């Protein structure tokens, strides 16, 4: 005879297992050339999600909803772009073809990103998974920070030795440095986007501001014909100041239009180029330029590094003053 407790466990396990069987999809994240090489501003990396069934076979058709969130703010040091921390970077729907969705992306800041993927196969099977992608800071950045800190220490050390006298006040020296070295300035880039009206396709972009996603919509005028002609769309976003591609998709199967939410993390001019390919026709190229509005970072974000740098100078002052007084007392 089955006990009530065993029957209850059986029912609970059955209910929990049902959704898992209904999903029936597996997903695997791949980053090329290597996830270990990910660094901020290191150029675009290939990102792809492999979607298979429980039997290991590739999902031939379907779509995937993709959300990419920036790393959360750190406890001490902020990143180069604190306005971006903890915000939504990319939101889009891509078709699954031959078991894969793929795009290219330039990771803007260091930290741990969250990539959420919800896949749906043509047969109705679904699955969702959140990947974490860790991007480390470049060695050059740490060397630069170390060199800068050493320079501040030496500045304080030399100042401590030069301006120290038996009656000198180290506190007054530090106060003078604080008053002379804490001015902050920033330039806010203002701009507007150029809009063109192509004959065969349109590419529209919402006003772009650092810190929030902008809506990008590409649309072919002849939508009815595109769905049956095997339309393939390529889209590239390039930051013009450094001529660096920050996002790209290639030969995406679309049915006349494509839209995504994309955050421009650099307050400068960008170029968007969309190329539509239809069998037997010349490629349709659409281009737009957008001047992204920069946003001044919160003042509180600058207090931590300023305090640290002033502390390094003060330490140098103290060491310099101590060494000078030690020499004079001998």
CA distances from 286 to 91, 195, 204, 217, 227 (A): 22, 11, 10, 12, 19
Q: Which of 78, 85, 290 is nearest to 189 (CA)?
A: 290
Residue 250, pLDDT above cutoff 70:
yes
Interior CA angle at 240 toward 236 and 246, to 5°?
40
Phi then psi for residue 304, to 5 deg, are -65, -55
The Cα 156–Cα 37 span in angstroms is 37
237 compared with 303, residue with greater pLDDT: 237
The predicted-structure confidence for 315-330, as pLDDT tens digits, reads as follows 766 776 667 666 777 6
Q: What is the pLDDT of residue 12?
A: 46
226 compared with 16, residue with greater pLDDT: 226
The predicted-structure confidence for 74-132, as pLDDT tens digits, reads as follows 665 667 788 899 999 999 999 999 999 999 999 999 999 999 999 999 888 999 999 99
Once rounded to an integer, what is the mean pLDDT over residues 49-54? 93
Q: What is the pLDDT of residue 144?
A: 57
Dihedral of the alpha carbons of 301, 269, 145, 314, in degrees to the nearest 10? -50
The CATH architecture annotation of domain 23-135 reads Sandwich (2.60)
Question: Could you tell me the pLDDT band of residue 138, with boundaries at 50, 70 and 90?
Answer: low
The Cα 66–Cα 102 span in angstroms is 11
Question: Could you tell me the pLDDT band of residue 290, with boundaries at 50, 70 and 90?
Answer: very high
Q: What is the pLDDT of residue 16?
A: 47
Which CATH class name applies to 201-291?
A: mainly beta
The predicted-structure confidence for 225-249, as pLDDT tens digits, reads as follows 555 578 999 999 999 999 999 999 9
The predicted-structure confidence for 144-196, as pLDDT tens digits, reads as follows 556 655 666 666 667 666 666 554 444 554 444 544 444 333 333 344 444 44
pTM of the model: 0.69
Q: Which residues of 205-222 are buried (b: 16+ CB within 10 A; e: fewer)?
A: beebbbbebbebebbbee
The Cα 72–Cα 323 span in angstroms is 43
Dihedral of the alpha carbons of 106, 108, 113, 115, in degrees to the nearest 10? -40
229 compared with 199, residue with greater pLDDT: 229
Q: Which residues, at least 6 apart from 72, have a Cβ–Cβ distance to it below 8 Å?
A: 85, 86, 111, 112
Q: CB neighbours (10 Å) of residue 26?
A: 16
The predicted-structure confidence for 252-280, as pLDDT tens digits, reads as follows 999 889 999 999 999 999 999 999 999 88
Question: What are 15's two structure tokens?
Answer: 């209910």
């Amino acid at each position: 005879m089955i006990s009530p407790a065993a029957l209850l466990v059986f029912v609970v396990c059955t209910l929990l297992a049902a959704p898992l069987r209904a999903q029936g999809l597996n997903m695997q994240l791949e980053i090329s050339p290597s996830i270990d090489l990910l660094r901020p501003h290191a150029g675009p990396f290939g990102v792809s999600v492999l979607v298979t069934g429980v039997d290991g076979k590739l999902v031939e058709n379907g779509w995937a909803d993709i959300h990419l969130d920036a790393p959360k703010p750190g406890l001490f040091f902020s990143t180069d772009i604190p306005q971006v921390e903890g915000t939504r970077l990319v939101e889009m729907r891509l078709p699954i073809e031959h078991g894969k969705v793929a795009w290219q992306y330039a990771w803007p800041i260091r930290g741990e990103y969250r990539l959420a993927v919800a896949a749906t196969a043509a047969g109705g099977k679904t699955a969702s998974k959140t990947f974490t992608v860790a991007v480390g800071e470049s060695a050059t950045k740490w060397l630069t920070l170390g060199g800068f800190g050493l320079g501040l220490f030496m500045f304080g050390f030399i100042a401590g030795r030069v301006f120290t006298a038996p009656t000198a006040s180290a506190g007054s020296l530090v106060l003078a440095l604080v008053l002379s070295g804490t001015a902050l300035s920033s330039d806010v880039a203002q701009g507007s986007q150029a809009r063109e009206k192509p004959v065969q396709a349109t590419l529209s972009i919402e006003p772009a501001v650092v810190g929030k996603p902008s809506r990008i919509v590409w649309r072919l005028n002849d939508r009815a014909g595109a769905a049956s002609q095997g339309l393939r769309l390529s889209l590239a976003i390039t930051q013009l100041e450094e001529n660096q591609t920050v996002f790209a998709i290639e030969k995406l199967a679309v049915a006349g239009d494509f839209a995504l939410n994309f955050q421009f993390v650099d307050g400068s001019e960008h170029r968007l180029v969309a190329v539509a390919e239809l069998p037997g026709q010349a490629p349709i190229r659409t281009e737009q330029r957008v001047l992204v509005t920069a946003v001044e970072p919160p003042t509180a974000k600058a207090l931590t590094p300023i305090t640290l740098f002033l502390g390094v100078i003060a330490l140098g002052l103290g060491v310099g003053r101590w060494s000078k007084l030690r020499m004079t007392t001998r």
